[in-house]
Amino acid sequence: MASKETLIVDCDTGIDDALALLYLLRDPDVDICAVTTVFGNIDADTAASNTLRVLELAGRADVPVAIGARRSWTGNAHFAPYVHGDDGLGNTDLPAPTAAPTSEPAAELIARRARENPGVLHLLAVGPLTNLATALQLDPELPELIKHVTIMGGAVRHPGNATPAAEANISNDPEAARMVLAAGWPVTLVPLDATMTERITQDHQRRLREFGTPITAFAAKILDQYFGFYEQNVFGDRSAACHDPLAAAIAVGDVIPALAPVVSVDVDTGDGPGRGATVADVRGQYRDFPAQDGAHVRVVLETGGNFADLLADRLCDAPAPSRRVA
């Protein structure tokens, strides 16, 4: 049977990245052909080590992992140990990987694989967009070679989580994000508008812990750190947003957005308080609106709110009533 999608996953492997990878790896119809890492939740080298750990936990040590950008185009690098733990995986001390990252840099891997597989690869980017922007510089024809790009990032109608205006992945490298969103490839942007409404809870964590496989035990354990951050700083209870796993599910067609207009998206790259903000005209959500010239970004504004059930089903390997949820 043909794969639902053939993916290169570009990530800064922290807690939600790990959950997204496990979600995808538990689906035999999804082909992850490579993972590339970038600074963000943690430094790019630790992200690669974390990725290899997760791949080995899932029995997929065959998937190549390439290290990418260690800082933004302007030379900055901000990490989030207060969210993801000092090791990026909730201080869970997952065993060191036996495999090593490839020597090929991430952007070069992306450009090469796209040339070798024109029209096949789907890029799923759940960290800062520096690797994708660098790949565009290496091969300006990349948008013609890539099937689709799905990005977890941005905030359109929702406040930011890095600044009042900006979401963390975009804020970490606004210049790179602006280039990626302006490129001519088809893009699905999954911003905080959608991800903050999809919450994984203690009930889901309890189910994962009780199921008792190495994968579900690990997933339950890393949620302790994540829940602690969200309880103290965001929701006031022990639950967390499903940022990267939701983007993964949308990328492979498991979640069908309830509201997702196709619009033009820009990124504020100035030095003021709006730096890193994603700017989009979504007034058309309320009525018929003239199509925007050159619009090619599908912005997911609303989903059904029950994705965490599907996530727990997938990790517990229990069949859901439907592979797709509205």
Class of domain 5-317 as given by CATH: alpha beta
Is the Cβ–Cβ distance between 73 and 130 less than 8 Å?
yes
Is the Cβ–Cβ distance between 64 and 32 less than 8 Å?
no
Q: What integer pLDDT is reported at residue 318 of this predicted model?
A: 52
Token look-up 């983007």 returns 247
**Span 166-189, mean pLDDT?**
97
Q: What integer pLDDT is reported at residue 291 of this predicted model?
A: 76
Q: What percent of the chain has pLDDT over 70?
A: 95
pLDDT over threshold 80, residue 121: yes
Domain boundaries, the chain: 5-317
What pLDDT, in 10s, does the model give residues 263-310?
A: 999 999 999 999 999 999 888 777 666 778 888 999 999 999 999 999
| Residues in the chain, total | 326
Q: Tell me the Cα Rg of the chain.
A: 18
CA 145/CA 141 separation, integer angstroms: 7
Is the Cβ–Cβ distance between 202 and 235 less than 8 Å?
no
In b/e form, how buried is each residue of 52-74, taking b as 16+ CB within 10 angstroms? bbbbbbbeeeebbbbbbbebbbe
Considering only CA atoms, which of 6, 154, 127, 13 is closest in space to residue 72?
Answer: 127
* Catalytic residue list contains 243: yes
Q: How many CB atoms lie within 10 A of CB 29?
A: 12
CA 112/CA 146 separation, integer angstroms: 11
Q: What integer pLDDT is reported at residue 301 of this predicted model?
A: 97
* Tokens of residue 230, six digits: 């969200």
User: Among residues 84, 122, 204, 243, which one is catalytic?
Assistant: 243
- Of the pLDDT bands very low, low, confident and very high (cuts 50, 70, 90), residue 324 is very low
What pLDDT, in 10s, does the model give residues 190-247?
A: 999 999 999 999 999 999 999 999 999 999 999 999 999 999 999 999 999 999 999 9
Is the Cβ–Cβ distance between 297 and 262 less than 8 Å?
yes
pTM above threshold 0.75: yes
pLDDT over threshold 50, residue 319: no
